Structures are given as structure tokens and as C-alpha cells.
A and B are shown apart, each in its own frame.
Chain A
């Protein structure tokens, strides 16, 4: 509508036409720009990041606006804006400065809240345009541009077109962002699925391997059990047929024994293993000498090694404490297993056992034990696996070398019980080195002279004949015990059950009772309780030692036996060595005890001092005397051995001749030698003899001599156990 007051002059009309034409052109170009938005859209849909989207938007805007420069500010999660793209690139700093100024004066914040362009003049005579890039849900950024002219009031249509383009741009940015998020998420999901699949696959593989190993184990086991069983049955059958020469019989019997031994070993392995698996396994806590344990473990294996032409060397670091507290039996088991394996897989050369001290803090000693061989070695991949149950380095090992595949698994579990770890270093064809560590408590320094496992061999044992009551319902067991003990001159009375044993005990006096646990009529526990009851009723001041013989092999079972009043405990099958040693252990004290009733004050005093405080051998005192040179100990022990035996002999003869002076002289000599070598108890007893003989009194001399002999044996047992006896001996 035209104001009627304005004259319609030709100039005015000309201007009108120009205005309309110009507007028309303007609208057309805007419409064209918007109409060509399909190209813009496809650019946007190809764009995967903000920069590409900004570039596509900028080229679209250039169709209708004559921007000197353009820029996009990206909205950051922290609320800040960053100028990420400028066109041309050189405009970066200028635009940055312009926008920052607008941020300072609040125009920028104002523009953020306006969904249309905000135009502000710049100091250089241009116009700065700010247009928010936002979807309905959130601000994505800010578009900025500089336009020529100080009063560049853009026409409404252009600004609307700008709004449309920026709106499209904002949605493209949001899509890209969401797409990116979705992509990340999908990617992440895929990774997780893959990871999970891998885990499951691994678990499945492990389960299958375990199941396979178990089947293999069962197959091996039945093979392992059947092989010695065949031996036993075949040989027995042959022998039952009769008509064999004594040599043949001996040969067959030897074969049966071998088979039975290996069968026992397998069964022990399985039992141990299942006990550990069931968590029913507890460690004993007794004090022991580590050197002794190592020595004895090796001595058992020595023969097997020698048969294969192997040598076993052993070195215990001098820092390792003399006396430790722990389960020596289990330590031996691990050591025996490792050295046994070394012997098994080694064809030549040397097996070395080294014991070192890792740490010693307060009461806790950590040992590191190494068993090195020059055997076939273990493939690297198998080094972990061999400690798993039912696994050997590979299936063929079993066929070649035998074994249950449980040994190392048991070792690992035993070592774990001892708070240690076990591992192996190995190279195929070169050899292996098995390591394990174990924690022990520190002992009180007193080296136990006796114990179930003293290193004495039956030959060395001196034992007065005993009257033994043996209660067992199985005839073969009775025969076995009789066969073991009768050669030593012991008298054995048998009883078939607990009741008969009790009757026998009531009718006759016995030195010791060997009691089976499971028997008809009255079992071993009941019988023992009855015996103890009987003793109390009769007012016997000294209880007879009762030793259980049982196939149950756990510490709990042992406790049940002790609670019933038993003194000790033997595991079936009964081994000759163990039985003899047991008797020795019990009657070593007993022998001394037997001396006392007739003894007068000095002897009682001597015994008292001996048993209570004095050590059989004081290594530290000897070391002090030798200036700390421990390597000299064996030589000195050897010298003492050579010197003291003739003196003991002489003393015995002097006693027989009742020659007081000679007795005093020999006793004096022995006292001196014993003192030098730190055989403290020998020293004490010899000093006592010297003193009484010096007073012309030989009444106690015979008993003191017996005591001296015992102490002498004890001394050599101890130094032997400590490995202090030189080879020359």
C-alpha cells in the first residue's frame, strides 16, 4: 500500500520498480538456494564429523551471503565454545578476537538464546553476525561471519533462510553426534561380545581339557594299578603252584614286593590328593632338623639313583637354621617327589639339591629349595600345566615313564599349605630346575634326638628283648609283625581281638602293646581304654606303651588314638624300619628309665641333668672352639670317633676287672675328649664316673657305663643326622 501523500513522481516510480526488481532477484536467489538443498542434504548425510558439516553449511550459505569470513564454534561439554573451522583459514585470529569481544559484552550469550541472527557492527566498519546452531533439544554451536558494510541490515528473507540452513546444520550435527555415539556403543558392544565369546570359548576349552585330563587320568590310573596288580597276581599264582627252587621263589617274592610297593605308592598319592582336595589336610607342627630331613629323604632315593648311574649332591646353606618347626613328613614328601621325578627323567649326570634361606624374620624362616637335573626337560608351554592334577608334560610321558600325574599336583598343594610356591625352569633336552619355597617356624634350638624319623638304621639299633602283646584280627598282619620282630629276639604274644588282648594283658606283664584299631568284639580304642582303666584299678604307676596300627592316615585319626590313651601310632602297611625305629624310640628312654630304680642320688642327678637341660651335642660350642670354621667339624668328629671307641672298650674291661684306678683313668680320658667335641651329655656321665671312681666307689659304675654307651650312640646319631660325619668314617 502506498501512502497517498507521496507524490507519484517518475523518480519515485522508478525507484519502486528498481526496489521490486531487486527484491525479486533477492527472493529468487534465496529460493534457489533453498531449492538446491537436496545437494546440501546429501553433503550433510555424507559428513561424519562436525568439520565436514560446517564446510557443507558454509558453501550453502555462500550462495546468498557475501561473507568476508565465516566460522563455526563448537559447543563443548564444559559449556565453552571453540572456534573449530574458519573460512578463509587466515581469518581465524580476527574472528576469534571478534567473538571473544562479544562474549565479554554478553552479546554472545544473548545470541545463544535467540534463534535468529544477531548483528553487531565491528570497529573495522563491518558487521558481525552471530547465529546459534541449535536443535530443539540443545545448542550445538554458534555460526559467526563478517559481512561488508557498517549497516548491513540483512533483509528478513535472507535471515530466515539463514535460520533454516543453520537449523538443518544443527540437526546434521546432532545426527552425526548420535551416530557417533551409536557407532561407539555398537563397537563397544561388539568388543564386549567378542571378549565374552573368547572367555566362554576359553572356559569351554578348559572344561574340556579338564574333563579329558580326568579321563586320561582314570585310564592311566587303571593302567597303573593294573600293572603291579598283574605282577602280584601272576607271581603269587606261580608260587602257589609250587615246585620252585628257593632262588626262584626269592626272585618272585622280590617281584611281588616291588609290585606291592608301587601299588602302595599310587594309592597313597590318590589318597593324599583327595584329602587335600577335600580340604581335610592339616600340617603337623613338630621341631626337626632340616639337614636331617634332607639327608634322609635323599638316602632313600640314593639307591635308585645309583642304579641308573646318577649321583645326588646336596648342599644346605649354613645360614639355614638348625632347628625348624613344621611338618617334616610333608617336606620330605615334596622333596622325595621332586628328586624322584629327577631320577625318573634323568638318564645321566648329576641331580643337585640346594637349600637356601630366603628370609628369617622373628619366628618365621622362609626356605628356598632347588632340585636341578640334567634330564629330558619340559617344554615351556607345559611348565605351568604340569602342576595341574592329572597332567603330565604330554600323554606319552605316562607310557614312557609311568606315574599317576598326581605327584606334582600334590607337591603344589602341599607347598601352598606351607605358604610357599612351586615353579619350574626348564629347557628341553638340557634339564629342569624345580624350585619351591616354604615357611617354617624357628625351633627353640634344641635338636630333638629322637622322633619317629631318626636316621638310625636297624643295624645300628641296640635293643633289649621285649615282651610284646600284638592285637590284630588279621592273621597275615600278625605274621608280618612277628616276622619283623622275632629276629630281634623279642617275645610276641598274639591276640585276635581287643577282648583277648585285654585278657592277655591282665594275665601277664608286657613291655609294649601293638594294637590294631578295627577288630571284632572289642576294637583297639575300647581295648586301650580298658587297659588304662585296669592299670588305674591296679595302681600301676607306669602305663604300658600302647601303639596303634591303623590304615587310617590322617592327623585327626591320630588324635582319636591319643585320646583313647595310646602313646604312638603306626600307619599300615607296617614297614619293618618304622616298627624297629618306633621300638627304639620308646625304649631308648625306657632303657634309661630301667636303670633308675636302683640308682642312688648321683646317678639320678646325672640323669636329671642329662634329660632336662644338657644337649647331646652343642654345635655352637664346638664351632666357637674351632673359630667358626664349620668345615673342620667332620674332621674333629672323625678324630673323636677313632679315639673314643678304644677308650670305651678299655673302660668296659676295667669295669669287668673292677680296677678302680683304670676306671677313673678311662673315664677321665673320655670326659676330656667328649668335652672337646662338645658331647655334653657324654662329658657329664664320664665326669660322674671319674668322680665316683676317684672316691673308690664302683657301685654305680656299671649303670653309668650303660648310660655312657647310650649317650655315645646318641652323639653319633646326632652328628650323623646333622651331616657332620666325614666320608672317611
Chain B
């Protein structure tokens, strides 16, 4: 089958195809609704999560991980919900289940281990930046960072050949993957990821940072969050923490750096805090959930 035989590769089409193949676990929507229901209780929320034992275990391990640095042992989802917060628990649940959604992608196209390591590192650094800035609901930054390159998987899963073609072009030319995507497809992995998450009814505060992580200035509502993911992505590439969509270090968007207002000397502290969390979080989220 030649390249031209594929259905036309448009953004909408890819999203449509993918959302039917890969869907979010059922619990996510129920969880969301319960959390926003004024009459629901923590017990209601805990009940939904604990239906998935694998998720429950991952969440508890996460809640007790250095990322949270929590004071006491979190031994129940109820306690996690009270301590971490229900919205935050929902975001973590999304992060803890999304890795299991994408499967069956050829190893030569995408090294899943290296890819998710990059994504988790990006999420943790984005969250650390948010903590440093005293942002509220920092878990959404973790999720946004974790999902920032999800478009890359989507393309690799749905269009093996296009993906391979792009990877080879990048290897040969040494140009930015992003530019090659845009030339070849007229859209890029960030836009694609954002579109999929939107389709999944993920909150805009997570969708936008993903969709605009290469050009945060274009985000409509969550420019700051987009900027944090943008910076976290660049740091991960520069530090070679895993392997994302891009090969080199993407250019830094100056206005975003200005907007964040994080002093350069603080970066070392933020990185140091993040580094220790990356390996453990990766181990928690990738392991023990193979069914």
C-alpha cells in the first residue's frame, strides 16, 4: 500500500479515527461528574476510583511518592482525596491511566519507555515550576506536561508510514521535527494532541498547554500554563531526559520566559527537586498495571 492509498491525513480525521480506537477509561467521566456534583462526597469519589484496583494502587503509590512529599502515609483513596484534593486526584487518575491507553505501536517507530520518560519528566518539571510560582491546582500541570506530546503517539499509531517518513527526514536533514510535520501535514503533533484531548473532554486548562507547548503565546486562555510546559519540554530535551517528539532542543519562546518570571538561578533548584521524582514516578506509572 503506497502512501497515497491512505485516507487523507487531516487533523480532524486523525482525531476522529483515534478517539474511537483509543478512549479514556470510563471512570474518568464519572469521576469528573461526581467531583463537580455539589451533593457528592469524598466517599462517592473514592468509590469510583477504587473500582479500578490497578489505578488505586498507582494513585496511592503516587500520593506517597517524593513528588508529593506528603507528611503522612496516604493509605486510602479517601485520604488521598482529602489531602490532595478531589480535582487533583482526578488529574492524577488521568495521568495514571493514560499510559495504558496507547498500545500496539511499533517499537522501531517509538520507544515507549523513552517516550513516557520524557513525558513524565516534562510533567514533573512543569509541576515544579508551578509549585515555585505558588500556582493552585498544580496537578493539572503534571498532567499537561505528561500529555504534551500525545499527538506524536497518535500519528505513530494511526499513520506508521507517515511517522517513519518524518523520522527519516529528520535524521537526514537535522531539521526540527515540528517544521517537517508542518510541511508534510500542515499541522503538528502539538495541535493534534490538543485536538484529541479536547475530543476527550479534558479541561481546557490541560488542553491548551498541550496544544500550544511550542508556541505558548498563541494560547487563548492558559498562556502561562502553556509557557510552563513549553519551558519544561525544552529543559527535558536539553537534559536528555527521555525522548519526545523532537530530537534537538526546540527554540525558547522569549516572551514566555519573561512571563514566567522565574529567575535563572532558580532553575537549578527546580531541576534538582524534579530529578529525584522522575525515576520513581516513572516506575509507579509504568509498572504493575499490565492486563
Contacts and interface: CB of A to CB of B under 8 A. Distances in A.
B75 interface: no
Contacts of A167: 136
Interface stretch (A116-124, A286-294, A503-511, A602-610): A116-124
A117 B86 CA distance: 10
Given A121-B82, A134-B134, A151-B42, A105 B29 contact: no
A113 B71 CA distance: 11
B37 A109 contact: no
Interface in B202-223: none
A152 interface: yes
A107 B70 CA distance: 9
Given A3-B26, A23-B37, A151-B42, A118 B83 contact: yes
24 contacts: A1-B29, A3-B26, A3-B29, A19-B37, A23-B37, A26-B38, A110-B70, A110-B83, A115-B135, A116-B87, A118-B82, A118-B83, A118-B85, A119-B85, A120-B82, A135-B134, A136-B133, A136-B134, A151-B41, A152-B41, A153-B41, A153-B42, A153-B45, A156-B86
Contacts of B201: 1
A114 B37 contact: no
B275 interface: no
A153 B135 contact: no
A19 B38 CA distance: 8
Interface string A92-129: 00000000000001110110011111111100000000
Interface residues of B, number: 32
A114 B39 contact: no
A155 B41 contact: no
Contacts of A110: 70-71, 83
Interface string B28-44: 01100001111111111
A136 B130 CA distance: 11
B81 interface: yes
A105 B71 contact: yes
Nearest to A132: B134
Contacts of B41: 149, 151-153
A163 interface: yes
B72 interface: yes
B211 to A, nearest CB: 21
Nearest to B86: A153
Contacts of A107: 71-72, 83
A22 interface: yes
Given A1-B29, A23-B36, A117-B85, A153 B44 contact: yes
B138 interface: yes
A159 interface: yes
B126 to A, nearest CB: 15
Given A136-B134, A153-B40, A153-B81, 17 more contacts: A3-B26, A3-B30, A22-B37, A22-B38, A106-B71, A106-B72, A107-B71, A115-B135, A115-B136, A118-B82, A120-B82, A134-B134, A149-B41, A151-B43, A153-B35, A155-B38, A156-B36
A22 B33 CA distance: 13
B135 A156 contact: no
B35 A22 contact: no
A99 to B, nearest CB: 15
Given A120-B82, A159-B87, A22 B36 contact: no
A533 B212 CA distance: 115
Contacts of B286: none
A157 interface: yes
Nearest to A16: B33
A51 B30 CA distance: 42
A622 B141 CA distance: 111
Q: Which 4 A-B pairs have the closest CB atoms?
A: A106-B71, A151-B41, A115-B136, A153-B42
Nearest to B88: A116
A624 to B, nearest CB: 93
Contacts of B65: none
Nearest to B70: A110
Interface string B45-81: 1000000000000000000000000111000000001
Interface of B: 26, 29-30, 35-45, 70-72, 81-83, 85-88, 131, 133-138, 201
Contacts of A114: 85
Contacts of B131: 113
A157 B33 CA distance: 12
A157 B32 CA distance: 12
Nearest to A115: B136
Given A105-B71, A115-B135, A136-B134, A23 B38 contact: yes
B202 to A, nearest CB: 12
A163 B85 contact: no
Nearest to A137: B134
A130 B20 CA distance: 42
Interface string A373-400: 0000000000000000000000000000
Contacts of B70: 110
Contacts of B86: 153, 156
Nearest to A131: B136
Contacts of A151: 41-43
B35 A155 contact: yes
Given A3-B26, A110-B71, A153-B44, A116 B85 contact: yes
Nearest to A139: B134
Contacts of B37: 19, 22-23, 155
Residue with the greatest number of chain A CB neighbours at <10 A, chosen from B42, B43, B138: B42
A158 B134 CA distance: 19
A33 to B, nearest CB: 14
Contacts of A160: 136-137
Nearest to B137: A116
Contacts of A120: 82-83
Contacts of A119: 42, 82, 85
A155 B42 contact: no
A163 B87 CA distance: 13
A321 to B, nearest CB: 78
A155 B43 contact: no
Nearest to B35: A156
A136 B262 CA distance: 11
A180 B71 CA distance: 36
Contacts of B134: 115, 134-136
A543 to B, nearest CB: 91
Contact of B36 (A109, A115, A134, A157): A157
Nearest to A166: B136
Contacts of A163: 136
B47 to A, nearest CB: 11
A53 to B, nearest CB: 19
Contact of A156 (B39, B82, B87): B87
A136 B38 CA distance: 30
B14 to A, nearest CB: 20
Contacts of A121: 82
Nearest to B23: A1
B59 to A, nearest CB: 16
B111 to A, nearest CB: 33
Nearest to B132: A136
A638 B137 CA distance: 115
A118 to B, nearest CB: 6
Interface string A1-16: 1010000000000000
A163 B81 CA distance: 17
A163 B40 CA distance: 20
B138 A115 contact: yes
A257 B101 CA distance: 129
A25 to B, nearest CB: 8
A167 B135 CA distance: 10
Nearest to B69: A113
Nearest to B87: A156
Contacts of A3: 26, 29-30
B290 to A, nearest CB: 25
A663 to B, nearest CB: 116
A65 to B, nearest CB: 12
Interface string A136-158: 10000000000001011101111
Contacts of B29: 1, 3
